[in-house]
């Protein structure tokens, strides 16, 4: 593997019903026994406000994590009902090709990653959490949807 950028979980929120002080219920979404690698994109860009192209601040790195529609109904009910999109997971078999700057099969590689995404996310679990201690710590709470 040529990367060490993994996630053990991510958090997402769902709009809660009326009457809640906080209109969002937060959830930790996590795999059962593995780490997640998300498909992302990055590109350097030149900050035109800095005249000297060799200055350390003249170049910035912009990055994003790709998202896709949540799994359809019947594939992963909890993720389907949580949010309208999920981050795109990428399998360990495709990581090296995904990050290879010489890779030329862009659409085919994207299709392969998207083709495996729902299967990879099918084992993810969710647990409700709340922010406490001045909104700096997430703690488990009883599932408000149960």
Give a yes or no: residue 43 inside a domain: no
Give a yes or no: residue 45 inside a domain: no
How many helices (H) and strands (E) the chain has is answered by 3, 8
Give a yes or no: residue 46 inside a domain: no
Give a yes or no: residue 133 inside a domain: yes
Range of the domain at 86: 10-37+68-140
With 0.85 as the threshold, say if the pTM is over it: no
Give a yes or no: residue 52 inside a domain: no
pLDDT per residue over 58-77, tens digit each? 998 899 999 999 998 888 88
Residue 107 pLDDT > 80: yes
Buried/exposed 83-100: b ≥16 CB within 10 Å, e otherwise: beebbbbbbeeebeebbe
Give a yes or no: residue 28 inside a domain: yes
Handedness of CA 18, 134, 7, 142 (dihedral sign): negative
Give a yes or no: residue 1 inside a domain: no
How sure is the predictor about 12, in pLDDT bands with cuts at 50, 70 and 90? Answer: confident
Give a yes or no: residue 49 inside a domain: no
Into how many domains does the chain fold? 1
């Amino acid at each position: 593997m040529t990367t060490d950028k993994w996630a053990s979980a991510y958090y997402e929120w769902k709009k809660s019903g009326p009457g809640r002080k906080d209109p969002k219920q937060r959830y930790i979404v996590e795999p059962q026994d593995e780490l997640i690698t998300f498909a992302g994109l990055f590109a350097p860009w030149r900050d035109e406000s800095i005249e000297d192209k060799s200055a350390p601040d003249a170049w910035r790195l912009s990055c994003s994590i790709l998202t896709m529609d949540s799994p359809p109904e019947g594939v992963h009910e909890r993720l389907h009902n949580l949010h309208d999109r999920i981050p795109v997971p990428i399998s360990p078999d495709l990581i090296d090709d995904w990050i290879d700057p010489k890779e030329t099969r862009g659409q085919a590689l994207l299709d392969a990653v998207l083709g495996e995404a729902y299967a990879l996310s099918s084992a993810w679990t969710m647990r409700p959490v709340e922010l406490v201690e001045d909104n700096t710590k997430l703690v488990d709470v009883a599932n408000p949807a149960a």
